[in-house]
């Protein structure tokens, strides 16, 4: 008999396709991880005036001029002062009633030195600080 021979074989198993997580999900998870693991710094503001501009008191000259040079020498009205002892050096001026000061950077003063001086002056009892060129 020229019959048909049927071959019964088990169907081939398909390899399961690995489902990849979508790229947006991976990015979201990374973003979430970095946001939760990082620390956020709070930056403070420094209120500065520009010397010679604004509503001054009739052109009155400031009685305190701070000069910061590029070799980290700080002068208060011409007298050499250390940044660490600035609070003590400001006491005689504050006793005289000085409320305003002008900071004059000289030479190539780094921004870090200038900000350190501004932070120290901000914590003092001076009411207004201007930055001159």
Stretch 85-109: mean pLDDT, rounded? 86
Residue 27 maps to a domain = no
Residue 127: which residues within 8 A CB-CB, separation 6 or more? 99, 100
Q: Which domain holds residue 72?
A: 62-131
Instruction: Name the residue among 55, 45, 48 with its Cα closest to residue 101.
Output: 48
Residue 37 maps to a domain = no
Sequence-distant contacts of 41-46: CB under 8 A, at least 24 apart: 46/115, 46/118, 46/119, 46/122
Quickly state the pLDDT bin for 33 (edges 50, 70, 90): very high
| C-alpha count within 13 angstroms, C-beta hemisphere, residue 22 | 3
- pTM, two decimals, is 0.55
- The CATH number that applies at residue 81 is 3.30.420
Stretch 42-70: mean pLDDT, rounded? 66
Q: Are 122 and 46 in contact (CB under 8 A)?
A: yes
Residue 76 maps to a domain = yes
- 25 pLDDT exceeds 90? no
- 99 pLDDT exceeds 60? yes
Q: Give the chain's domain count.
A: 1
What secondary structure letter does DSSP report for 2?
-
Residue 57 maps to a domain = no
Stretch 104-122: mean pLDDT, rounded? 86
Report the percent of the chain where pLDDT is more than 70: 70
- 36 pLDDT exceeds 80? yes
């Amino acid at each position: 008999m020229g019959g048909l021979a049927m071959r019964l074989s088990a169907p081939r198993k398909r390899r399961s396709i690995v489902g990849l997580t979508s790229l947006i999900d991976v990015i979201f998870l990374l973003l979430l991880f970095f946001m939760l693991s990082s620390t956020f710094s709070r930056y403070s503001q420094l209120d500065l005036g520009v010397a010679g501009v604004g509503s001054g008191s009739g052109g009155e000259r400031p009685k305190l001029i701070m000069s910061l040079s590029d070799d980290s020498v700080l002068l208060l009205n011409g007298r050499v002062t250390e940044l660490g002892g600035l609070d003590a050096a400001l006491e005689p001026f504050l006793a005289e009633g000085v409320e305003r000061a002008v900071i004059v950077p000289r030479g190539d003063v780094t921004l870090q030195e200038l900000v350190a001086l501004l932070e120290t002056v901000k914590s003092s009892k001076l009411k207004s600080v201007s930055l001159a060129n």
